[in-house]
Amino acid sequence: MTSLLPRLFGDMSDWLEVDFPRPLPAIRVEDRMTDQEYVLRAELPGMDPEKDVRITALNGVLTVNAERREEKAAAGRTEFRYGLLHRSVRLPATADETAITATYEKGILEITVPLTAPEQGGRQIAITKK
């Protein structure tokens, strides 16, 4: 029986090289925040930012969508990922969504979100008697 196991599972060695379950195609990111801005950097090598990348901000969520297309099909093994890539992050409460800027250089997309000063103390709520 012990000699049978390597023969049964020997051809499955390639399966063990990939994450299981295979993760959704997510864009790898890093971020940092200061008092003035929130900066998100996304790894998107080989993309044309004007054609392949779309950035949206809605209701406090910043979303990056990208599509990597295979230029030519070749037989053999590939670990490149083609297709749709997606990543969403929650923005800080003080984010100014109307002033977001983005740059792309050497495969890195950098999105800068200016932060406004937080409102001090909220607002006073009046109490009425019935």
23, pLDDT greater than 70: no
Q: With 90 as the cut, is the pLDDT of residue 4 above it? A: no
- Does 1 have pLDDT greater than 60? no
Q: What local confidence, expressed as pLDDT, does residue 83 receive?
A: 83
CATH number at residue 104: 2.60.40.790
Structural domain of 102: 23-70+79-114
What DSSP assignment string belongs to the chain? -TTHHHHHHGGGGGGGGS-SSPPP-B--EEEEE-SSEEEEEEE-TT--HHHHEEEEEETTEEEEEEEE--SS--SS------EEEEEEEEPPTTB-GGG-EEEEETTEEEEEEEBPPPPSS---------
For residue 33, being part of any structural domain is answered with yes
Indicate whether 87 belongs to any domain.
yes
> Is residue 6 one of the residues assigned to a domain?
no
Is residue 83 in some structural domain?
Answer: yes
pLDDT, mean of residues 19-31: 69
Could you give the number of structural domains in the chain?
Answer: 1
Structural domain includes residue 30: yes
What token pair was written down for 75? 């037989």
Which residues, in sequence order, are bridge partners of residue 86?
26, 65
Within a domain: 123 = no
Note the helical H segments in the chain: 4-9, 49-52
Which pTM was predicted? 0.68
Nearest 10 degrees: Cα torsion 35, 49, 99, 30: -20
The model's confidence at residue 17, banded by pLDDT at 50, 70 and 90, is very low
> Which residues are registered as beta bridge partners of 113?
38
Least confident stretch, 18-22, 58-62, 93-97, 110-114: 18-22
- Res 14: pLDDT: 46
Is residue 46 in some structural domain? yes
What's the mean pLDDT when you consider all of the chain? 81
Q: Kindly state the tokens that stand for 113.
A: 């979100």
